[in-house]
Structure 1
Amino acid sequence: MQLSVYLSGEIHTDWREQIINGCKEHGLDIEFTSAVTDHDASDAAGDLLGAEDKQFWRDHKSAKVNAIRIKTLLETCDVAVIRFGEKYKQWNAAFDAGYCAALGTPYITLHNEDIIHPLKEVDASAMAWATTPEQVVEILKYTVKQK
C-alpha cells in the first residue's frame, strides 16, 4: 500500500525529517508533501503579484498563493500529520486540521502534553495523537504494512 502523507505545522525543528527518515528505514512506500517550509519564501509568495505598502495586503496575497499548494495537497493526501510546536502558535496548523476534518481526511496530531487543553477540539477529530515523531512512524508503519 502506498500512502500520500501531508506534513503540516511548525517549521523550526526537524520533526519532518525524523518522520521521513524513520519511514525510509522501515521501507515504507510513502510520498511526503508539505507547505513551503522556508519561512522567508513563504512570506514572500505573493510578492510576484506586485509590491504592497501595507503588511496586511502582503500577507494576504502570500497566504492565497501558499493556499494553492496547501489546499491542493491536503485535498489529495491520504493522511495528514499536524505538528504543534512549542515556540510559536501554529494557527495555520489548526486551520489545516480543521480543513482535514471538514474533508474527512484522517489526520494525526503531534504535540506535547502541555498543550492538550487548547487543542482538545483538534485532537477530538484526529485519528491519533502522538507525542513523538517515532510514534507517528509506528502509526504509518502499521497503516502501510498490516494485512
Structure 2
Amino acid sequence: MTYRVYLSGEIHTDWRERIIAGANGLDVTFSAPVTDHAASDDCGVAILGAEPNKVWHDHKGAKLNAIRTRKLIAEADIVVVRFGAQYKQWNAAFDAGYAAALGKSLIVLHGPDHAHALKEVCAAALAVAEEPEQVVDILRYTLDGTLPS
C-alpha cells in the first residue's frame, strides 16, 4: 500500500522536511503547495498581468494556486494541515475544510496554544498532532502496524 500525503499549511518552519525525513523508507509520496511565499503571492500578476488593486492582485494568485491545491488534495489519501504559531493560516483552514468535505483522512498539526481556536477543524480530523514526528508515527502505524519505540 502506498500513501499519497499532501502537506498543507504554514511555510515558515521545517515541519515538512521533518515529516519527509522521518518517513524515509515508508511507502509514502508527498506533495505540497508552492512554499515560496513571494512566488505564491505574485504568481497571478506575474503570469496574467499587473493589478493596481491589491485585492485583485491577491485574487489572481489565489485562483492560480487553487489549481494546484485542489488537484493535489483530491489525489491525496491523507491531508496533513499544519497551523503555525506566528501567522493566521486562513488558507490552511480552507484546505482542511476542503479535504474534510472530500472525505479525505485529515491530520491536523498544531501546538497547544491553537487548541481552542481550531476546535472545529480538529473535530473533523482523524488525528490531531503537536509534533511532525507524531505524524510520521501515524503514517508508520497505519501502513504497517508498528508502534513507536
C-alpha distance in 1 between matches for 2:2 and 2:144: 10
- Structure 2 partner of 1:124: 123
| 1:31 counterpart SS class | strand
- Is 1:81 the counterpart of 2:80? The answer is yes
**Which residue in 1 is equivalent to 2:106?**
107
Give the aligned residue type for 2:23: C
Runs of 5+ in structure 2 lacking a partner?
none
Per-residue deviation, 1:146: 2.5
Secondary structure of residue in 1 paired with 2:35: coil
1:59-70 aligned at under 5 Å gives the runs 59-70=58-69
Partner of 1:10: 10
Deviation by residue 1:31-83 (Cα, 9 ceiling, x = unmatched): 10000000000011102111110110010000000000000000110001000
Tell me which amino acid in the other structure corresponds to 2:9: G
**Structure 2 equivalent of residue 29 of structure 1:** 27
Query: Matched residues in 1 for 2:101 and 2:2: separation?
Result: 23
- In the superposition, the TM-score normalised over structure 1's length comes to 0.97
RMSD: 0.9
How far does residue 29 in structure 1 lie from its aligned partner after superposition? 1.2
Q: Give the percent of matched residue pairs that are identical in Structure 1 and Structure 2.
A: 60
Structure 1 unmatched runs, 5+: none
User: What is the one-letter code of the residue matched to 1:74?
Assistant: I
**Hey, what's the Cα distance between the residues in 2 that align with 1:29 and 1:54?**
45
Distance 2:60 2:144 in 1: 42
Matching residue within 41, 50, 61 for 2:39: 41
What TM-score do you get using the length of structure 2 for normalisation?
0.95
Distance (whole Å) between structure 2 residues aligned to residue 62 and residue 133 of structure 1:
28
Q: Distance in 1 between matches of 2:39 and 2:133?
A: 29
- Between the aligned partners of 2:132 and 2:32, the Cα distance in structure 1 is 16
